[in-house]
Homo-oligomer: A and B are copies of this chain.
Amino acid sequence: MPQLRLALAQVNATVGDLAGNASLVLEWTRKAAEAGAHVAVFPEMVLTGYPVEDLALRASFAEASKKTLAALAVRLADAGCGEVVCYVSYLDRDEVGARDAAAALYRGEVAATQFKHHLPNYGVFDERRYFKPGESLDILRVHGLEVGMVICEDIWQDGGPIAALGQAGVDLVVAPNASPYERNKDDVRLPLVARRAREAGAPLVYVNLVGGQDELVFDGDSLVVGADGTLIARSPQFVEHLTVLDLDLPGGAARTSGAVGEFAVRRRVLSDEVLPAYPAGYPASVAEPLSDEAEVWSALVTCLRDYTHKNGFRSVVLGLSGGIDSAVVAALAVDALGPDAVYGVSMPSVYSSSHSRSDAEELATRTGLHFSVAPIADMVAAFVGPLGLTGLAEENVQARCRGVTLMGLSNQHGHLVLATGNKTELAVGYSTIYGDAVGGFAPIKDVPKTLVWELARWRNAEADKRGETPPIPENSIAKPPSAELRPGQLDTDSLPDYALLDKIVDDYVEGDRGYHDLIAAGYEPELVQQVLRMVDRAEFKRRQYPPGTKVTWKAFGRDRRLPITNKWREG
């Protein structure tokens, strides 16, 4: 049976770094060539990084992308990789507009170019803003086999290129992707890819990006699925990885050309001879998907690490309150960057409990991060007296003096400041703007409070399993949450129980359910009204909040775009 050796290059590209990304492709194609691969597939927009946002509209950037692609084809050939059919995606631009494009590089040339057809314009995606859709399909004959390609969203929508490839006839489909992580998405991905393989009537090679880009993180989870939908190979999540495998391909697909529906089918022969039988050296490996907690934790660690390093920071600083949120963020930072790059500061005020400092210190001891104490009483007094501040105004000054302290340390020592707010707080506005909300990055901004606790317990249990010290002090997990901005204050003074609150927030924010729908679901009318009011009124705070990793189906930010000035009130 005809066969091909495929390499799935699941790499971590950086937005805008054309030279760096080109070198990354060269390096990984070299590995693929050394392994004897005939075809190497890289993720969507690997040359530019993804998403490039309005860089797509800049002519100079698109030109540079095209030039880099052409030069890369030559570099690959010069490096002895010219015989590998190398699928490299990039930003193109022609007289019609910008294009999300995939090219096949072969023997020093761009052998084929295809444009993404389905352009997602929902959730975090604005691709109708940037790209014009492609309406041609480039099918290459590689060692006698017909290889078609589609790009990312093209496999998420019914009809279109996949069905057309099925009609035209192909022996194999490659699909470069940049599909951002969200919880449970990997459970959807495999059945979907399987369905598309069946529609195409050919095995499908799905290669996803890995790594963080601002609020998005890509989990990899690259797949190969047979023509019948069977899973053949799966790459591990959240790591760069080269999956090489030998695939038996029966071949013999129809070889029609011309037009199929709205698509112009273009065929080109790169190599016509079927390979003589060779011993399969790379049996397919199927990585086990991570557990839900492990997956979220890895997403948060990966995105925090990449945001820090890709933006040129070597270290981070954060306030340690002794509470669960800052403890989890610190543990994430230590996992992402190592303890030596993490600076935790306890900033007690006159209302701080003794355990707020001791629990923070305990966290530092357990994780090995740098710990210091900066009391804020004098700073607070310098504002409260002269300005005559009382009540909420006085409470907020405490949070803001902590913000000024962290920013001062950041400016002095070059640390990136991490904000420690969670999604529930962000939803109901339970944070002080320019206070605890300061930061360059907010690692858990899309993690609901109840999940913060789950992650803490899971991370500690993992440490136990590995015989390591659990990073998070038991007391930080167990004690009732408090902002400690006035004597004896508890979160439950002004907020419902978090288990219930998270459910309502989830239904309202992610589910976009209205008041009557929520009441019908069994929630108390008064409670629903209270929570919805809080969420609606906090929009102005969310607009000025730092970016942070998206892990849920709908994160605050570009995923949920609501006006600040908005008199609509549910109920």
Contacts and interface: CB of A to CB of B under 8 A. Distances in A.
Interface of A: 14-18, 20, 49, 51-55, 57-61, 63-64, 121-122, 126, 128-129, 212-214, 306-307, 310-311, 374, 378-379, 381-384, 386-390, 392-393, 396-397, 400-401, 403-405, 407-409, 411-412, 433-434, 438, 440, 512-517, 540, 543-547, 560-570
Nearest to A122: B129
A311 B564 contact: yes
22 contacts: A16-B567, A18-B568, A49-B567, A53-B561, A55-B566, A55-B568, A60-B513, A64-B568, A121-B121, A126-B129, A214-B563, A214-B565, A310-B565, A311-B540, A311-B564, A374-B387, A382-B382, A387-B412, A389-B408, A393-B411, A396-B407, A407-B434
A59 B514 contact: yes
Contact of A512 (B20, B59, B411, B566): B59
A393 B408 contact: yes
A15 B567 contact: yes
Given A59-B512, A403-B434, A565 B51 contact: no
Nearest to A48: B568
A93 to B, nearest CB: 12
A53 B563 contact: yes
B440 A570 contact: no
A17 to B, nearest CB: 4
Contacts of A59: 512, 514, 517
Contacts of A514: 58-61, 63
A400 B517 CA distance: 44
Given A126-B126, A547-B543, A563 B405 contact: no
Contacts of A16: 563, 566-569
Nearest to A121: B128
Contacts of A389: 408, 411-412
Given A20-B567, A213-B565, A378-B386, 10 more contacts: A17-B567, A55-B566, A64-B568, A121-B121, A121-B129, A310-B567, A389-B408, A390-B412, A397-B404, A434-B434
Q: Which 10 A-B pairs have the closest CB atoms?
A: A60-B514, A16-B568, A393-B411, A17-B567, A393-B412, A16-B567, A379-B382, A16-B566, A128-B128, A382-B382
B17 A570 contact: no
Contact of A544 (B381, B546, B565): B546
Contact of A407 (B382, B400, B438, B515): B400
A392 B17 CA distance: 29
Contacts of A60: 513-517, 570
B565 A306 contact: yes
Given A14-B565, A14-B567, A382-B379, A404 B515 contact: no
B408 A396 contact: yes
A382 B381 CA distance: 9
Given A55-B563, A568-B18, A412 B434 contact: no
Contacts of A561: 53-54, 126
Of the candidates A54, A212, A434, the one having the most CB atoms from chain B within 10 angstroms of its own CB is A434
Contacts of A128: 121, 128
A513 B569 CA distance: 43
Nearest to A19: B567
A251 B311 CA distance: 65
Nearest to A55: B568
